[in-house]
Structure 1
Amino acid sequence: MAKPDLIIFDCDGVLVDSEVLSCRCLTEVLAVHGVELGLDQALDLFLGRSTAAVFQHCETLGRPLPQQFAAELKASVRAAFSSALAPIAGVGAVLEGLLIPHCVASSSDLDRVSFSLALTGLAAHFGERLYTSQLVRRGKPAPDLFLYAADRMQADPRRTLVIEDSVSGVQAAKAAGMTAWGFVGGSHYLSRDGKALLREAGADRVFERMAEFWRDPERPHGRG
């Protein structure tokens, strides 16, 4: 697409390298409640999804989680992030030079998104332009959150670009009528074929380094 009128960034796995950390916390807290789930399974099932999806999944397994699970998971994630969370390499430079209106739309809750961005020095790039699944009835892969964000930013969905790292996020962007770029530079894709997953989900482009944000490494570079 030509330069968009709005760019929506997912947070986890796009702005901050958090997916492995948070999914590891998820498996550990689930184990406390008798639900065994490996890290790869957690990534496959819940990458880009909200905590509500975890509750729903366990309910279908016949292992409903107690309400305190959400608070326990939040505490575990916050501790892990405090000691090890880092921004995605190169994302600060992209945001520094970004003149197009931009915001965040994340399946995580507002407290976690705000904490993550503050911890990694990225908060100033977004201010209060943070939208989360708490604000809509249906989370990703439904289009509700992206449509809500575009509406708040007064942008046409057809002129909106979404940067996502998850299948559910790409599906949500496409369902909203937006252009979706898949990003596979997070550590959770070191041993998984993220490019194939996101292309199959409908991504219009997939890239793996923020240095490639405005150019396509698959396009030959030469005269003409």
Structure 2
Amino acid sequence: MSAFELVVFDLDGVLVDSEIIACGCLRETLERHGVSLTLNEIFEHFLGRGFSVVEEDYRRRTGAPLPAGFAAELNTLLLSRYKTALRVMPDAIRLLNGLRAPRCIASSSTPERIRLSLGLTKLAPFFGANVFDTTMVARGKPAPDIFLLAAERMGVPPARTLVLEDSVSGVLAGKAAGMTVWGFIGGGHYTGRNAGGMLAEAGADRIVERMADLLPQLSEAVPP
């Protein structure tokens, strides 16, 4: 296996087990505003994608823009749930402590939600300023923009970059950027679902079920 010079982590559903919380909050908020979706439908339509997709989907379903205050209502609910329920993915800290390669985050979340997640879980020191979000680029995932920006800012060619992603849109984005992508399916939102099959079909080069499994695999793939 070729050695990688940069590891790019998605945040939600990879480093923190947040997608089951966030998607549940989105479902509740949409329900209050007249759109009823199952949790699986929320996963299918919105997992790994930015808030603009929620706006577009709501307009398509209702013929109207999102109600004023929708984003603030959702964020208030998220803040409350995150403070009590957000957890670091098992073994993520051990992985980051042992990782020799440079690392960064490339996330579809808002800057505010990223800061909240990293602060609550004490992950911020592992990344410093090397955190990239879709407000920094023209197009969100599944477009490759955020991954290309991350590689450029970190000074590593895309071909020498490994992406860890949990969503179909994220896998598609990483592959479109010319990077190797490993699909991670250890989050609570994938319990009982054929996550490995979905991510492999999207182009993931390898499927990883647990953070603990990444430790030996990254030792093989990352140069000393």
Say if 2:139 is the partner of 1:138: yes
Distance 2:143 2:215 in 1: 27
Q: Which residue of 2 aligns with 1:123?
A: 124
Give the secondary structure class of the aligned counterpart of 2:4: coil
Q: CA deviation at 1:115?
A: 0.9
- 1:127-149 superposed Cα distances (whole Å, 9 cap, x missing partner): 11110011111100000010011
Distance 1:113 1:182 in 2: 21
Equivalent pair of 2:95/2:214 in contact (CA under 8 Å): yes
What TM-score do the two structures reach when normalised by structure 2? 0.94
Q: Which residue of 1 aligns with 2:195?
A: 194
What TM-score do the two structures reach when normalised by structure 1? 0.94
Say if 2:21 is the partner of 1:21: yes
Q: Which residue of 2 aligns with 1:166?
A: 167
Give the secondary structure class of the aligned counterpart of 1:113: helix
Equivalent pair of 1:35/1:63 in contact (CA under 8 Å): no
Identity of aligned residues (%): 50
Give the secondary structure class of the aligned counterpart of 1:20: helix
Distance 1:151 1:72 in 2: 35
Q: Which moves more between the two structures, 177-186 or 119-128?
A: 119-128
Give the secondary structure class of the aligned counterpart of 1:142: coil
The unaligned stretches of length 5 or more in structure 1 are 217-224
Give the secondary structure class of the aligned counterpart of 1:77: helix
Give the secondary structure class of the aligned counterpart of 2:80: helix
Q: Which moves more between the two structures, 162-171 or 35-44?
A: 35-44
**Comparing both chains, which one has the higher relative contact order based on Cα–Cα distances under 8 Å and sequence gaps of 6 or more?**
2
Q: Which residue of 1 aligns with 2:90?
A: 89
Q: CA deviation at 1:118?
A: 1.2
Runs of 4+ in 1 over 4 A off after TM superposition: none
Say if 2:66 is the partner of 1:99: no
Q: CA deviation at 1:215?
A: 4.1
The unaligned stretches of length 5 or more in structure 2 are 218-224
Give the secondary structure class of the aligned counterpart of 2:150: helix
Q: Which moves more between the two structures, 181-190 or 113-122?
A: 113-122
Give the partner amino acid of 2:170: G
- 1:140-170 superposed Cα distances (whole Å, 9 cap, x missing partner): 0000010011111111011000000000000
Q: Which moves more between the two structures, 162-171 or 71-80?
A: 71-80
Give the partner amino acid of 2:38: G
Equivalent pair of 1:110/1:130 in contact (CA under 8 Å): no
Q: CA deviation at 1:67?
A: 3.9
Q: Which residue of 2 aligns with 1:33?
A: 33
